[in-house]
Amino acid sequence: MSSAHPNSDAVATAVRELDLGVVPHRDVVRDAVRALLTALARRAPGRSVEVRVPPYGAVQCVAGPRHTRGTPPNVVETDPLTWIRLATGRLSWAEARATGKVSASGIRTDISDLFPLDLS
């Protein structure tokens, strides 16, 4: 991981601990989730898909029809640890969907081609 992003250390720490079977500290998870959401928005700018990782954050991304009010038509939602695994390539989109770890509603929500994310 590059240290160019201010929270790339949090991502590296979270990934290292998850790989060891340890649940990272809440602050590390929060910072890693936010860094990876920022990386996703940078990689796929737009406002047609909303990716939610409660309670730490959400971003709108992916070019296409813009959503402006109410519940977005294309929503991806997952828990923080699944998000870290998915965004860093430790969990595939197909496996996350098949096991119910990711909820995705809407025709534009297959964002599998965006992973793994790069923090540089």
Domains of the chain (ranges; CATH) run 8-108 (3.30.1050.40)
Residue with tokens 């109410």: 70
Say if residues 65 and 48 touch (Cβ distance below 8 Å). Answer: yes
Tens of pLDDT, residue by residue over 48-80, are 999 999 999 999 999 987 766 667 789 999 999
pTM: 0.89
Tell me what pLDDT residue 1 has. Answer: 32
Say if residues 28 and 6 touch (Cβ distance below 8 Å). Answer: no
